[in-house]
Amino acid sequence: MHESFKALLPLIIPEGVSDYFQLTDHKKDTSGIHIYLEEINSTPVEYKTSKLLSKGFFDEVILQDFPIRGQEVYLHVKRRRWWNLDTGKVVHRDWRVVATGTRITSDFAAFLKAISRYPAA
């Protein structure tokens, strides 16, 4: 990724998103600007004492964000899932836990609210 795009990224995605997601791709087409984000492989705080094994991602969720210079902006978000070796169940980050007790921006709160609308499959 070009360094100038990395410098602009904080202006495009909500503040705090880069703490949990990494940019994997971007493109511009006739429908607008598409930003692709994948959740990083860091153990969720609510499972810090469990043994987790990353098992890929849930289906991609597409969120429409604020337009930039008249261009629609779409965030393509892939949430990670882990296999809990202690319980034998699939787990994922609980975004309510991330928001609790933290000082987050209204943009990041809106982002968390939007991705929480989609249940983990």
Q: Kindly report the pTM of this predicted structure.
A: 0.75
The whole-number pLDDT of residue 11 equals 78
Provide the 10 A C-beta neighbour count for residue 1: 10
Query: What pLDDT score does 8 carry?
Result: 75
Whether 46 is covered by a domain: the verdict is yes
Tokens of 86: 């202690």
Element of type H or E holding 35 = strand 32-39
Count how many domains the chain has: 1
Per-residue pLDDT of the chain (121 residues; tens, 9 = 90+): 567 767 777 777 777 788 888 989 989 999 999 999 999 999 888 898 999 999 999 999 888 887 888 888 888 989 899 999 999 999 998 766 555 555 545 666 677 677 776 666 5
Buried b (16+ CB within 10 A) or exposed e, 72-110: ebbbbbbbbbbeeeeeeeebbbebeebeeeeebeeebee
pLDDT (0 to 100) of residue 75: 85
Residue 121 lies in a domain: no
Q: 32: domain range?
A: 3-116
Asked, for residue 92, whether it belongs to a domain, the answer is yes
Rounded Cα–Cα distance for residues 33 and 11 (Å): 14
Over the Cα atoms of the chain, what is R_g?
Answer: 15
Parallel/antiparallel/unpaired status of strands 52-57 and 21-29: unpaired
